[in-house]
Amino acid sequence: MRHLLFYMFCLLTVSVLGQSVADYTVDDVITDIYYALSENEATDYDDLHEHLLAFTEQPIDLNSTSREELLSLRFLSEKQIDDLLLYVHAHPMDSLYELRLIGSFKDYEIRNLLPFVTLRPVVRDKRLYASEVFRMARHELTLRTDGRYMEDPQRDNQTDPVYARLRYRFNYGNRVVAGLTMQRPTGAAAKDMLYGGFLRVSDIGIVHTLVAGQYQASFGQGLVTASPLHFGKLMYAASAVIGQEGLRTYSSVATPALQGAGLTLRHKDWDVSTWYSLNRQQDSLRHHRIGCNLTWHRDNLTLQLTMTEHLYSDSVRYYFANAAYNQHYFRGDKQWVGGISFRYAWRRWIWFGEAAATQNRRWGAGTVLGARYLPWDDVTLTALYRYYSPWFDNPDGYAFSETSRLNDENGLYVAADVKRCYPWRWTLYGDVFRFSGVKYGITYAPSWGYDAAAQTTYYGPRHWHTDLRLRARQKGEKATYSLRYRFVWQQAGWYLLSQADVNLVQLQVGYSLMQDVHYSFPSVPLTLQLSLCGFRALQWDNRIYHYERDVLYAFSNYAAYGLGGRAYLNVRWKIIPQLSLYLRLSHTVYARNWVQERSLPAPTRTDLHLLLRATL
């Protein structure tokens, strides 16, 4: 009966779904992910961009995947991951169309997932053979250079120094991944060149993961250690619980998370991880990290114990040491941080949380407790409580928080993600928080605030969808109200995006209008992307962030501030199958009267990004 139902679904959907998958490129999938994450402009999206693109070249085999691997995609919910693993465990998939039989997946979510997954015959022998690794691996070499020109009558040299980066990447089935990077930051001398590299080996006997060079360690809910990728509250309403990736490589050179080596051993229900890192901070300060994690998982229960020891070559100092907002921040030359986390799933409930302590002149405590309830497959309700005492401070941690620092906060977050009324989708959340001490930008204590948003999305029948987001925030004395409307249409190589943003901050209004037009030629491996944007945000608090496509493995999160307009052109051309060219040219023009009023020297700015990619 199940196979009969499966073939009926195939016959009804193969023409529509197949065509939409062909038209819906990987870039469009990543754009939707960025749009959902765009509330937090401090997130390291470049690493996520490269991470997702790596899965398009070495897709995840759904018949032999794991929870950790699916979590790394970031846009799947816990319910979808659990349902997918249960389905594959009961019956290995014969076709990707079987995703339609899993009730928690909608058509547009399957479309998002397809570029990153595949199906292969079930392989029992997972041993690595050296001859096969080097013979079947994928090699990639990229060269990127950026330049900027600013109109500035007060400067003789109007062209900024050039940025350049050379990178090599080696990938064998996502089991052996290595890379080397050489980078010249803008304005740096030859002696200030940045060098980096990374290595990851997975699934060799009891060795689950071995990393070296630049890497990340992410466990629990992020109170002890967390990756640089942070989610906004809207994404958190439906995304998987953060902080359960373990050890993985990190490709950025300028701000690596950890530098050293780490190892995870797996035996039956136990994982044991340990890592060491040495980073230089503030030029001369050396920061040693020694960490370990013990994970036990059985059926639907996961328990973790994580501890880190931080050793500094000198006492940590701050540029504004006497500021009221940082008086409880960590100071000293060593710090111990430890925490216990859990995750338990029972029927339609998922409970998760973490409790941690820090040694910071006085002992500080922090905790995150949350629950998700799924009354139906397409309805998710979330509640999360967090408390960070004034003396709790961990610069390496990043859990759910209103601020970028886990310190002196008490709050409650509730959210709902409703897909039951398809083709409509509703996502809403509300967050109330309180600070007992002085916070950055708030001149009095105690203080409180709130953050609430609602977004509705409608998926049209012919390759288009539209969404509207409303958001209201208040922190201290500053209240912000914003609205964003977006319309997306794509078909036969065309991609059109129209977006309008309006905000109100302290009775000051800011707004922007943006139009993107993309076209992929059917007979030539060439894609052109043109974007036009006009904005009026005269105060910095009214700035509006826009996601902009860039060259491969790059991300642009432009802050529209001032009075002016902006345009950029992307060109992507596959010269031959092994060689591709990526070019991005952007130009920004500001109203001269606005520039003169604020004594700013540059009414125009032009940026050029160029990247060559060779693969073998």
- Please give the pLDDT value at position 610: 94
**Whole-number average pLDDT of the chain:** 83
Q: Which of 397-406, 467-476, 491-500 has the lowest mean pLDDT?
A: 397-406
Whether 503 and 579 share a structural domain: yes
Give the model's confidence band at 18: pLDDT under 50 very low, under 70 low, under 90 confident, else very high: very low
Does 552 map to a domain?
Answer: yes
Q: Give the contacts of 12 (CB within 8 A, at least 6 positions apart).
A: none
- Please give the pLDDT value at position 438: 87
Does 48 map to a domain?
Answer: no
Does 144 map to a domain?
Answer: yes
Question: Which is more confident, 496 or 27?
Answer: 496
Whether 68 and 156 share a structural domain: no
Does 2 map to a domain?
Answer: yes
- Please give the pLDDT value at position 188: 64
Residue closest to 392 by CA, chosen among 427, 423, 366: 366
Whether 186 and 216 share a structural domain: no
Is it the case that residue 582 has pLDDT exceeding 60? yes
Whether 145 and 252 share a structural domain: no
User: How many structural domains is the chain composed of?
Assistant: 3
Distances, alpha carbon 557 to alpha carbons 45, 373, 378, 544, 569, in Å: 9, 34, 31, 10, 15
The answer to whether 468 and 455 are in contact (CB under 8 A) is yes
For the record, the structure tokens of 574 come out as 């596959």
Whether 381 and 523 share a structural domain: no
Whether 375 and 257 share a structural domain: yes
CATH number, domain of 451, equals: 2.40.160
Q: What is the pTM of this model?
A: 0.85
Does 131 map to a domain?
Answer: no
Q: Which of 76, 91, 123 is the last residue of a domain?
A: 123
- Please give the pLDDT value at position 10: 41
Give the structural domain span for 608: 138-192+492-616
Long-range contacts of 329-334 (CB under 8 A, 24+ apart): 329/393, 329/405, 329/407, 330/358, 330/360, 330/393, 330/394, 330/395, 331/360, 331/361, 332/360, 332/361, 334/309, 334/310
- Please give the pLDDT value at position 400: 86
Q: Which of 219-228, 266-275, 343-352 has the lowest mean pLDDT?
A: 219-228
Give the model's confidence band at 33: pLDDT under 50 very low, under 70 low, under 90 confident, else very high: low
Whether 165 and 246 share a structural domain: no
* CA pair distance 197, 202, nearest whole angstrom: 17
Give the model's confidence band at 123: pLDDT under 50 very low, under 70 low, under 90 confident, else very high: low
Cα dihedral 23/27/31/37 (nearest 10): 130
Question: Which is more confident, 442 or 168?
Answer: 168
Is it the case that residue 517 has pLDDT exceeding 60? yes
Does 481 map to a domain?
Answer: no
* CA pair distance 197, 178, nearest whole angstrom: 7
* CA pair distance 590, 229, nearest whole angstrom: 32
Whether 180 and 259 share a structural domain: no
| Mean pLDDT of the 169-193 span | 80
Give the model's confidence band at 11: pLDDT under 50 very low, under 70 low, under 90 confident, else very high: very low
Whether 449 and 528 share a structural domain: no
- Please give the pLDDT value at position 522: 87
Does 473 map to a domain?
Answer: no
Is it the case that residue 503 has pLDDT exceeding 90? yes
In the Cβ-directed half-sphere of 528, how many Cα atoms lie within 13 Å? 6
Which H or E run contains 338? Answer: strand 334-346
pLDDT tens for 295-337 read 998 888 999 999 999 999 888 877 777 777 888 888 888 999 9
Cα dihedral 64/68/74/79 (nearest 10): 80
Q: Which of 70, 90, 123 is the last residue of a domain?
A: 123
Phi, then psi, of 198 in degrees rounded to 5: -150, 155
Angle at 14 (CA atoms; ends 11, 17), nearest 5 degrees: 140
- Please give the pLDDT value at position 36: 63
| Alpha helical stretches, state H, 508-555 | none
In the Cβ-directed half-sphere of 484, how many Cα atoms lie within 13 Å? 20
Angle at 464 (CA atoms; ends 462, 467), nearest 5 degrees: 145
- Please give the pLDDT value at position 253: 65
Does 236 map to a domain?
Answer: yes
Q: Give the contacts of 61 (CB within 8 A, at least 6 positions apart).
A: 117, 118, 119, 120
Which H or E run contains 13? Answer: helix 2-23
* CA pair distance 122, 425, nearest whole angstrom: 36
Question: Which is more confident, 494 or 15?
Answer: 494
- Please give the pLDDT value at position 231: 67
Q: Is 465 helix (H, G, I), strand (E, B) or coil?
A: strand
pLDDT tens for 403-452 read 888 889 999 999 999 988 888 999 999 999 999 988 888 888 899 999 99
Question: Which is more confident, 393 or 462?
Answer: 393
Is it the case that residue 103 has pLDDT exceeding 70? yes
Give the model's confidence band at 533: pLDDT under 50 very low, under 70 low, under 90 confident, else very high: very high
Whether 344 and 405 share a structural domain: yes
* CA pair distance 335, 333, nearest whole angstrom: 7
Whether 103 and 148 share a structural domain: no
- Please give the pLDDT value at position 144: 92
pLDDT tens for 60-96 read 889 888 887 887 787 788 788 888 988 988 888 888 8
Is it the case that residue 584 has pLDDT exceeding 50? yes
Whether 422 and 338 share a structural domain: yes
DSSP 405: S
For the record, the structure tokens of 544 come out as 């509006």
